[in-house]
Structure 1
Amino acid sequence: MNCSLNWPEPVVRVQSLSESGICSIPECFIKPLSDRPSRNTVTTTTTNISETHVNIPVIDLQNLFSNDQRLCDETLRLVSDACREWGFFQIENHGVSHELMKSARETWRQFFGLPLDLKQEYSNSPSTYEGYGSRLGVEKGAILDWSDYFFLHYMPLSLRNEVKWPAVPPSCRKVIAEYGDETVKLCGRLMKILSINLGLGEEYLQNAFGGSESIGACLRVNFYPKCPQPDLTLGLSPHSDPGGFTLLLPDEDVSGLQVLKCNEWVTVKPVPNAFIVNIGDQIQVLSNAIYKSVEHRVIVNAVKDRVSLALFYNPKSDLLIQPAEQLVTEDRPALYSPMTFDEYRLYIRTKGPRGKAQVESLKCPR
């Protein structure tokens, strides 16, 4: 991957800025006026959306294991509708231990609460992004997001390097391994659901991704420090996720994720013990845009820090991804040109979050 080996400017840890007691944020974090959250969205949602109390769909997966086929089919339909209409949904009764979810969040809170010099031992570079970071993209002079993060590879096994995982707190590596195992299994089950709903056969998408042993799974733990001017910046700029799909464990105490729906930003209200699932660009390509990735962003809070864990489930990096033949017809020709995920994510790693510019650039000329 031909990324720069160094960041273009000295890295500033956002958490350190927040804890320094500043009253105004540095200019490099101030978004253009058109990109700033409104004052209403900093605490709830945009005015129009908040009046109707809209939230992304919440789906109970329990009935997928029911002996009643009607209940199973209804759950499949709900997932299909959510993928087509929202690109985002929350799942309950998903099979991952609630205690493990809680432990994962708490362990990473402890990591970000460590002294800066201990965290700096895991500092990352743009060559792999693996480790402790504070910016996405390598363009000099870019407007930055108000967040720090820790990024690591979990799958395939050839990329997993536990030495790069935090050794403190002492439970961290054990929790990462347990959480990674359980969430990757859940993602495999979700792939079957998406594949069945697209009429492709339950193993199609997994095979298109390279098979269960070859898929890519990466964990990014996001830390959004409290911000003295949350109406001027964002924790994460608008973007669609470049991979297959994302399994997000949100902060249940502080909302921040916003999803673009009908040109309005909807603030997601996390359901206790639920995961948030969103379609990524690679599923959009494979489904020939039957399922679409959706722009989302993160707002920050004036009084509380926020942590979330995003598990990215991706295709094998050197496989060509293109629309499934079964979903290409005379009436609906292939919308996208083939591209490997390695080629695709280079755009994101170079330029940082840019709405849906990358997936739109793949469209075949008509």
Structure 2
Amino acid sequence: MDCHTDWPEPIVRVQSVSESGAGLIPARYIKPQAERTCCQPELDTNLEPIPVVNLGDDDTSALSNACRDWGFFQAVNHGVSPELMRRTRELWREFFHLPMETKQAYANSPKTYEGYGSRLGIEKGAVLDWGDYYFLHFFPLCLKSHDKWPAVPVALRETVEEYGRELVKLSKRVLGLLSVGLGLEVERMQRSFGGEEAGVCMRVNYYPKCPQPDLTLGLSSHSDPGGITVLLPDNEVRGLQVRRGTGWVTVQPVADAFIINVGDQVQVLSNATYRSVEHRVVVNSKIERLSIAFFYNPRSDLLVGPMPELLSTNSLALYQPMTFDEYRLYMRKNGPRGKSQVESLKAI
């Protein structure tokens, strides 16, 4: 277990805690009663399905309705090779199974979060989530450094590059469909993201086995701060839960599908026509879980506010404009906190 003085406390890898064989989790991972889950996802029979959208049909109406109502959908016929999806997931699983000293060479800091990490937010004494992760940048190129990408497994860097290229294309398609769903030209939302200068990054989430899964969370409830998120789930283990009304729905992944959701920036740009929705991750006592979240975001220094075409005397701007650089500092400082950040931007 390694320590980094740029974090508020010594960093402890959750995987190390899990593999220690302890029957009780440390107090720093125990969530307040109101945030805990009532049961493990494998025992949850309330599996209301989130919408499934066939991107092979470019079904604008289905995608738009899903993002207005749920904020989430599962994308099938999306054009990304299932073999590439599986290869990417398994290479990252191999990385998390490497010796700890190998992974520690990539330990991250709060400055950029790039690398091997175990916490979000820098609040001293915060209750932590039960998960480790690996965060890396694709764009802008000034933030991208292969030195921060794992050199092992040997095929990982090349595979991640290919995966990134494919998911950038997919993200642009989704943005175009979201624009058309608002009655705008297909490129409108992409321009609001900075055109070809949109920001792209990825976080690989690793949730080790947990001896007391009912007391903690793999990732606390939050809405994503960025534009859109394309999630490659673990098809073998359920864990993602989406807020639906006053309750939670456990997502059952569709084979070879991506789970795509709207982030806070799209909620702001659409003046709340599309909704970023809270979600969280529950953990498992019997098996580990791995997922890969791909984030497609506005260029960090652009002011993001409701698009003028959507405003009128009967539809005023709901949010104050803010750059994504300013916006994401909230989560970097405080960690995941529901929808408190986007709510704080409300202008009326």
TM over 0.5: yes
Question: What CA distance in whole angstroms lies between the structure 1 residues aligned with 2:102 and 2:29?
Answer: 25
**Does structure 2 retain, via aligned residues, the 8 Å contact 1:5–1:125?**
no
CA drift at 1:5: 7.9
Question: What CA distance in whole angstroms lies between the structure 2 residues aligned with 1:60 and 1:20?
Answer: 44
Paired letter, 2:201: C
CA drift at 1:44: 4.0
Moved more, 153-162 or 275-284: 153-162
Deviations 1:202-243 (A, max 9, x none): 00110111012x110100000000100000000000000000
Identity of aligned residues (%): 59
Question: What CA distance in whole angstroms lies between the structure 1 residues aligned with 2:204 and 2:331?
Answer: 18
**Does structure 2 retain, via aligned residues, the 8 Å contact 1:155–1:215?**
yes
Residue number in structure 1 paired with 2:304: 321
Residue number in structure 2 paired with 1:43: 42
Q: 1:173 to 1:59 in 2, by over 3 A?
A: same
Spell out the pairing of 1:1-366 with structure 2 (5 A cutoff).
Answer: 6-39=6-39, 41-45=40-44, 50-51=45-46, 53-64=47-58, 75-212=59-196, 214-364=197-347, 366=348
TM-score (normalised: structure 2): 0.97
Residue number in structure 2 paired with 1:68: none
TM-score (normalised: structure 1): 0.93
CA drift at 1:169: 0.5
What RMSD over aligned residues (CA atoms) do the two structures have, in Å? 1.1
Deviations 1:135-189 (A, max 9, x none): 0000000000000000000112222111110000001101110111101111011
**Does structure 2 retain, via aligned residues, the 8 Å contact 1:5–1:126?**
no
- What is the SS of the residue equivalent to 1:355? coil
Deviant stretches of 4+, over 4 Å: none
Number of aligned residue pairs: give it.
Answer: 345
Moved more, 321-330 or 138-147: 321-330
- What is the SS of the residue equivalent to 2:50? coil
Deviations 1:33-71 (A, max 9, x none): 0100002x44343xxxx35x411011111223xxxxxxx
Question: What CA distance in whole angstroms lies between the structure 1 residues aligned with 2:19 and 2:255?
Answer: 29
Moved more, 190-199 or 142-151: 190-199
Paired letter, 2:15: Q
**Does structure 2 retain, via aligned residues, the 8 Å contact 1:5–1:127?**
no
- Gap regions ≥5 residues in structure 1: 65-74
- What is the SS of the residue equivalent to 1:17? helix
- What is the SS of the residue equivalent to 1:231? helix
**Does structure 1 retain, via aligned residues, the 8 Å contact 2:36–2:216?**
yes
Q: 1:244 to 1:161 in 2, by over 3 A?
A: same
- Gap regions ≥5 residues in structure 2: none
